[in-house]
Amino acid sequence: MGCTQSTGMDDEGKARNDEIESQLKKDRMNAKNEIKMLLLGAGESGKSTVLKQMKLIHHGGYNNQERESYKEIIFSNTLQSMRYVLSSISGGWITKTVGLSSAILEAMPALDLQLQPQNDARRGIVMALPGQMETDSLPPDVSDALVNLWQDHGVREAVRRSREFQLNDSATYYFNSLERMSSPTYLPTDQDILRSRVKTTGITETTFRVGELTYKLFDVGGQRSERKKWIHCFENVTALVFLVSLSEYDQMLYEDESVNRMQEALTLFDSICNSRWFVKTSIVSCPF
């Protein structure tokens, strides 16, 4: 009787052990087909844009509901860019109440440009708005102000000289799209979404398959304050993809206006290459 019970327990234990071994074998097989890639680069280098492109290519793109969710981001990006332009040509007229940091306001050059007199009121409308647009359509007065300001010679000249101050590289694209974006039926296009900008904080993971391989891409915050959060977390990744924005060769950091962005990228790349966490990790540099 006792022997029968013991045999039953042994069989149960063996079955459980076989199940665990089978799962471990399956996990090992899956691991062989899994490529983990960490996207690195200084702030504004294009890491989040790469993930959006992967979604467009491998995940079927964005449905209408997802596109609708980008409206507030796109409107806010456009508004913020116009405010930066107006701040650069407005001298002492702008104060901290417009939502720009004191560091940016202090660093803004006086471009010695003027708006056309009829656009002074439109400037007031734009500068009085909150920094974030929480709306699914541009109000008519805001749309009118942005469209007409973009036609102003002073604004055009300031954008042409944007290397002298901080301006999002998507600004001209959105300014040229203002009439389309002002339509009540506006729905963001793929290009609109790709050019949108939201500061990444923390860690974002995106997974997609190509053939039999599963790729996991990790996007992390690129600003200085974010780096210490992730540098030690990814020593087991297959490869690092380091992104550098070539258009930033003559621009300065948001965090420190005395530091060139390209130099910051080179410094970060050097620290990654010499980090003890990534001694055995492949590193790919992607300037674009």
219: annotated active-site residue: yes
Helix/strand/coil for 266: helix
204: annotated active-site residue: no
Q: Which amino acid is at 101?
A: S
Please tell me which residue in 116, 204, 214, 223 is annotated as part of the active site: 223
Please tell me which residue in 192, 219, 248, 264 is annotated as part of the active site: 219
Distance CA 173, CA 195 (A): 8
Helix/strand/coil for 9: helix
List all residues 6 or more positions away from 242 whose beta carbon is below 8 Å from its beta carbon. Answer: 40, 41, 269, 272, 283, 284, 285, 286
Please tell me which residue in 83, 122, 197, 261 is annotated as part of the active site: 197
Q: Which of 213, 287, 276, 224 is nearest to 30 (CA)?
A: 213
223: annotated active-site residue: yes
Helix/strand/coil (H, E, C) string of 184-205?
CCCCCCHHHHHCCCCCCCCEEE
Alpha carbon separation from 11 to 2, 3, 156, 227 (Å, rounded): 14, 12, 80, 52
49: annotated active-site residue: yes
Helix axis angle, 71-89 to 120-128, nearest 10°: 130
| Feature table: binding site | 44-49, 169-170, 194-200, 219-223
- DSSP 3-state helix, strand, coil percentages of the chain (rounded to 5)? 55, 15, 35
| Feature table: binding site for Mg(2+) | 48, 200
| Feature table: binding site for GTP | 44-49, 169-170, 194-200, 219-223
Active site residues per annotation: 44, 49, 197, 219, 223
